[in-house]
Amino acid sequence: MIDIYTEKIDSKDWILQNDLYFNLNTSNEEMSQKEVDLIRQIDGAKLKPDKHIETKYGIGTIHNLSSGCKTLLNIVKHSDKVVNVEECGPNVLKIIFTMDNIKIYMSRPTLFDIPDDAEIRFNDSDVVVGRKGYNAWWSKEYERREADDL
């Protein structure tokens, strides 16, 4: 189940600024092989033992990863937190929506491939399945927002 929250809450259990959180916290943690593989898959970067990355553009530090890659790693390493995914592109969202038992924040829909069997719960309430359920929920949400002048 993927929990999506559409209203922002200021809480220690939420990661709203992914780059900052990653640079101060997640980047200091050991990366598993799964996480090293995600870095390669998303950014095409090879993580070195000294936390440097090697890309087709040259050498950098782990802080030079893309915002989408940092967001994905924040989700993987801190699945107990709600993570803002609004800066993620379709390549990262596609991976996120294959995961289970995660919590994310998004205030608007994004177009990307959602697996037909993805179970999604919005705001601890409405449960939908797959792309059709996701799109239908957002359509109703926009109707509600329009009716409420939001």
Which string of DSSP letters, residue by residue, matches 53-111? EEETTEEEEGGGS-HHHHHHHHHHH-TTSEEE-TT--HHHHHHHTT--SEEEE-SS---
Per-residue pLDDT of the chain (150 residues; tens, 9 = 90+): 999 999 999 899 999 999 999 999 999 999 999 999 999 999 999 999 999 999 999 999 999 999 999 999 999 999 999 999 999 999 999 999 999 999 999 999 998 999 999 999 999 999 999 999 999 999 999 999 899 876
Q: Exposed e or buried b for every residue in 89-117, given b needs 16+ CB within 10 A? A: eebbbebbbeeeebbbbbeeeeebebeee
CA 54 to chain centre: 23
Domain borders along the chain are: 2-147
Instruction: Tell me, yes or no, if the pTM score tops 0.85.
Output: yes
Supply the pLDDT for residue 35. Answer: 98
**Phi, psi for residue 61 in degrees, rounded to 5:** -105, 170
Supply the pLDDT for residue 150. Answer: 64
Supply the pLDDT for residue 122. Answer: 98
Close Cβ partners of 37 (under 8 Å, ≥ 6 residues apart): none
Supply the pLDDT for residue 26. Answer: 98
Beta-bridge partners for 102: 2
CA 144 to chain centre: 25
